[in-house]
Structure 1
Amino acid sequence: MASHDPHSSGFEPMHDPARRKGAVILRGDQARIPQADRALLDSGGGEDFTHTDPWRVLRIQSEFVEGFGTLSGLGPAVSVFGSARTKRDSPRYLQAERVGQLLAEAGLAVITGGGPGAMEAANKGACAGGGISVGLGIELPFESGMNEYVDLGINFRYFFARKTMFVKYSQGFIVLPGGYGTLDELFEAVTLVQTEKVTSFPIVLLGTGYWGPLLDWLRHTVAEEGAVSESDLDLIQITDDPEEAVRIAVSQCGKPVRPVD
């Protein structure tokens, strides 16, 4: 589909990027209002009822209701995490795309954060594999909208509501190289497995060169200090092969899916 060029009509686009606030898209001055998470976690504020914690409880409740209602019939799924900054011409993008396709061909829905980079690649692969491509977006000051390969998308205001959906409706995680957000999702998943809050939950890291030093630090510093047990390190598996990553996820997710060739 051809896109409209705003410069051809003399129209000057706004310099501030658009962003989403739940189901709402914001641009210009509207995009500069505080994020919902920040407003919730900051103390103080005005007395307007729509900016008080009791009102926010209703908003939070609505996000859980929307998420549960939308995803309850999804079926077996695996979440794929990775950096939003992954370039489309990079090997990591191609790996994420391959992972998404293989998961879909194995009968699993693919859940991502719905953004660009590795998330977009996994959603694209899921579409190519004929599977359900899910995006769970989040209100951020520097990202807007779902990538074009998301078939089923939900936008969240609150990180914790969104993260609940990742865990509740996924049978495993495949994690590509990423930054703080990816690390947050990885360690939340590991913590839930380690504390037996979830069961039969494979966690696979894709990229030994990227993740190897982190596992070395966990093994030789964190475990040696006694902060985690040696057995806790076995909760994470690592590979460079997208096919192997998907085989691990499929074999351990505990759901009836098609075998990976």
Structure 2
Amino acid sequence: MTSESSPRARRQGPAMLRGQAVPPTTTDQRLLDSRGPSDWLHADPWRVLRIQAEFVEGFGLLAELPKAVSVFGSARTKPGSEEYELGMEIGARLHEAGYAVITGGGPGIMEAANKGCDDAGGLSVGLGIELPFEQKLNDYLDIGMEFRYFFVRKTMFVKYSQAFVVLPGGFGTLDELFEAITLVQTGKITRFPIVLMGTEFWGPLLDWIKGTLLPKGTISPEDPDLFHLTDDPEDAVRYIVEGHTRAEQELIERRAQAAAAEEAQD
């Protein structure tokens, strides 16, 4: 017999198992049996639940967050350095413009932006990540959360930020930068200003983008305009505010046009 009612065939939730794939015990037997190894804690189906839990916890924690800007940069930047001071100024100015500040919650530029925002009386948020080496959340957070999974954390940055400000950093900073640029380029997110702080640091990257990618045709002519390069914190915040104001006005106009078209049809 080869039907699903055969002793060698079993339904296991949405799956159907036959032959050697049929386990010797049922799912609830294994759940209620407290004996045996704990390898199941590290199995992929259990990881799915952990991933789901991280999304639920993150969404729940940040759902009522006001409009916010994420600030990225190196965790290795030392307090007192020029870039650390720049991060603090950016954090303070973003608060003054009405934004909460979100960072990766660690040291360096992340700490600087959180500190600048916190010192100015703003809402400071840190989204940390579990790493092989110890890196605790910094001391300037009103809201902090540590994630197991990079991709869950990155989703939170994008979902709850209205812009990115990117200061000098390493591979992690580049990853976050190009993730944001790709999402804007492909239309996955809109009304999302991206600012690069530091012309000396980021200039060679932009030269390569315009001098290599553009001539090769691997990006569109308008793609280099997806981000704004500056050394001035005031200019950076102004670019973000003006971008949002312009986008909101365009949204109002589109809604008005849609309403007028619907009224004309009636």
Q: TM-score when scaled to structure 2?
A: 0.77
- Residue 130 of structure 2 corresponds to residue 130 of structure 1: no
Shift of 1:105: 1.3
Q: Residues 183-213 of structure 1: CA distance to partner in whole angstroms, max 9, x if unpaired?
A: 0000000000000000000000000000000
| Residue 94 (structure 2) aligned to one of 103, 113, 124 | 103
Q: Residues 104-139 of structure 1: CA distance to partner in whole angstroms, max 9, x if unpaired?
A: 111100000000000000000111221110000001
| Residue of structure 2 equivalent to 1:166 | 157
Between structures 1 and 2, the one with greater helix share: 2
AA in 1 matched with 2:205: L
| Residue of structure 2 equivalent to 1:141 | 132
- Residue 207 of structure 2 corresponds to residue 216 of structure 1: yes
- Residue 247 of structure 2 corresponds to residue 253 of structure 1: no
Shift of 1:47: 8.2
Give the gaps of 5 or more residues in structure 1.
1-45, 257-261
Question: What is the RMSD computed on CA atoms of the aligned residues?
Answer: 1.4
| Residue of structure 2 equivalent to 1:78 | 69
Q: Is the 8 A contact 1:194 1:235 kept in 2?
A: yes
Shift of 1:253: 3.2
| Residue of structure 2 equivalent to 1:235 | 226
SS at match of 1:224: helix
1:194-209 map, 5 Å: 194-209=185-200
- Residue 108 of structure 2 corresponds to residue 117 of structure 1: yes
| Residue of structure 1 equivalent to 2:23 | none
- Cα distance in structure 1, aligned partners of 2:178 and 2:52: 25
- Cα distance in structure 2, aligned partners of 1:142 and 1:181: 15
Q: Higher RCO, 1 or 2 (CA under 8 Å, sep at least 6)?
A: 1
The runs of at least 4 consecutive aligned structure 1 residues that moved more than 4 Å come to none
Number of residue-to-residue matches in the alignment:
211
AA in 2 matched with 1:104: H
Whose radius of gyration is greater, 1 or 2?
A: 2
User: What is the aligned-residue identity percentage?
Assistant: 65
Q: Residues 15-68 of structure 1: CA distance to partner in whole angstroms, max 9, x if unpaired?
A: xxxxxxxxxxxxxxxxxxxxxxxxxxxxxxx98211110000000000000000
Shift of 1:145: 1.3
